[in-house]
A = this chain, B = another copy of it.
């Protein structure tokens, strides 16, 4: 992620303080943040940044394929900067905690043509659900 800013500049991004700050926030080890969490952290570095800009920037990063949007439930979407290493997710059904996981197998290959209904299938998302150690203990 460290050369993210270079890649973005290369793609014709106008570099603004706001975009830099959002990219910096995502660059930390805090993976799977909601837009609001990203905004909260961004504000500590650039107090006047608006929610709308955070949403815009995250949306652009998703479009560019630099960040993955993870929708595990009706709570807020989460943003995963680990876009360049394919992976799936394990989600706690109670508290919403998320972990990246790397199952074996290739689910894309497991979907026969007869089951594609003419769709152009481009992606699979596998979401494992269960209880995290903390929530299982309750």
Given contacts A107-B103, A110-B103, A111-B103, contact A121 B116 (CB under 8 A): no
Given contacts A74-B71, A125-B126, contact A120 B101 (CB under 8 A): no
Q: Which of A20-28, A44-52, A127-135 contacts B (4 or more CB under 8 A)?
A: A127-135
A115 at the interface (CB under 8 A from B): yes
Contacts of A71 in B (CB 8 A): 71-74
A93-109 residues with Cβ-Cβ distance < 8 A to B are 93, 99, 101-105, 107-108
Q: How large is the interface on A (under 10, 10 to 19, 20 to 34, 35 or more residues)?
A: 35 or more
Q: Chain B's nearest CB lies how many Å from the CB of A96?
A: 12
A112 at the interface (CB under 8 A from B): yes
Q: Contact check: which of B77, B99, B125, B131 meets A129 at CB < 8 Å?
A: B125
A133 to B120: give the CA distance in the assembly, Å: 7
A40-98 residues with Cβ-Cβ distance < 8 A to B are 71-74, 77, 90, 92-93
